[in-house]
Amino acid sequence: MSKIVKTGRTPTSEDVARLAGVSRSAVSRTFTDGASVSPKTREKVMRAADVLGYRVNFLARSLSQQRTRLIGLVVSDMDHSLRGSLVDRLARGLVALDYRPFLLPTNPGDDVGHLIDMMLHYNVSGAIVTSDTPPSQIADACVAHDVPLVLVNKAEVGGKVINVSMDSRKAGRMGAEVLYDAGCRSVAIASQRRASHTIGLRKKAFTAACADLGIEIVGDFQGAIQDYAGGVEAAEAFLASGLAPDAAYCVNDYLALGFLDHIRYTAHMDVPGDLKVAACDDIAEAGWQSYDLTTVRQDPSAIAGAAITALINRIDDPDLPVPPIFIDVALVERNSTRAAPSSL
């Protein structure tokens, strides 16, 4: 690379054209994939561009091409490690395909209207929503403005909106099966009061599977939300009930960890000796030695990959129908459901 000549303002295609002794069109073509330029012209242009440090102005390009390659990423709860991984994979995947992820953070109770406005102001080419709040408002706006939209782990809203989700039903069923195989015939559920689509599905599937297998559900103990504190709260309710089932099914890992800690340190119960525990998600902490939690893994990379593919397909062909996509899950068996007593 040659030495860059510093000028006052950023160089434009005009500057490059002049220096190369060609027209602006020639410059444009040189930087357009699949355009017809003679090797000689291209060479001259490249050299001039290199000298000036020229870069195509994508805003101007977007304006004339009428597509921005900007993708709105609507995200909440980013300090949740699964969310973080998902956003990371989405952003990386999009960048690799020359799309630009535009981050639109939202937390429960936020003004979603502002975010929608922003997406429309910038003419995003598409959007991916993975926030925890019900995205119906965003979905409506996107549909109304023909913005291709993918919902990740959200309820289906119909229309042209694409859904990519983990296989929640399978996840719930697996939770019941692993407990059954560990010899459990009665189980408490630990869940949360805040509504959540995937969690609702896995809980329902878990309950149905229990009915099939002949596992009795002795109660559903809840915390405010599906985090560590929620798990502690659920455990308090569970302990207060005085019930003594074989196992507890926690609707997600964070909740399970709070639940586990509380029954261990407050009630001095042994897991899996006194109570077996299974959960769902497989966050990193579930594998830590203090917890060693049996859970069902959802794969953020696979979900992100599918979401991106689906979105790009929809952008390229707006009329191509895309049925809901479910990403497979996998049982991760650890000590919290070990059949033999832990003093084996």
Separation CA 186–CA 245 (nearest Å): 5
Query: Which tokens is 283 given?
Result: 């966050």
Asked whether 294 and 275 are in contact (CB, 8 A), the reply is no
- Of 147 and 210, the one with the shorter C-beta distance to its own copies is 147
Site for DNA in 201-220 (CB under 7 A): none
Separation CA 174–CA 282 (nearest Å): 13
Give the shortest CB-39-to-DNA separation in angstroms: 8
- Of 54 and 228, the one with the shorter C-beta distance to DNA is 54
**24 in contact with its own copies (CB under 8 A):** no
Lay out the site mask for its own copies across 121-140 (x = CB under 8 A, - = otherwise): xxx-----------------
Q: Which of the stretches 6-14, 156-164, 272-280, 334-342 binds DNA when contact is defined by CB under 7 A? A: 6-14
Lay out the site mask for DNA across 15-54 (x = CB under 7 A, - = otherwise): ------xxxxxxxxx-xx---xxx-xxx-----------x
Among 5, 7, 10, 211, binds its own copies (CB under 8 A): 10
**97 in contact with its own copies (CB under 8 A):** no
Residue 307 binds: one of DNA, its own copies, none (C-beta under 5 to 8 A by kind): none
**87 in contact with its own copies (CB under 8 A):** yes
Give the shortest CB-160-to-DNA separation in angstroms: 22
What sign does the dihedral 225-226-232-235 (CA atoms) show? positive
C-alpha distances in Å from residue 325, one per residue of 83, 99, 151, 163? 19, 22, 10, 6
Give the shortest CB-238-to-its own copies separation in angstroms: 16
**13 in contact with DNA (CB under 7 A):** yes
CA dihedral 294, 298, 299, 300 (to 10 degrees): -120
- Of 10 and 136, the one with the shorter C-beta distance to its own copies is 10
Among 180, 221, 238, 291, binds its own copies (CB under 8 A): 291
**317 in contact with its own copies (CB under 8 A):** no
Give the β-pairing of 149-152 and 216-223: unpaired
- Of 206 and 221, the one with the shorter C-beta distance to its own copies is 221
Site for DNA in 52-71 (CB under 7 A): 54-57, 60-61, 63-66
Q: Which residues bind its own copies (CB under 8 A)?
A: 4, 10, 53, 55-60, 62-63, 68, 73, 78-85, 87-88, 91-92, 95, 100-105, 107, 114-115, 117-118, 120-123, 144-145, 228, 257-258, 261-262, 264-265, 284-285, 288-291
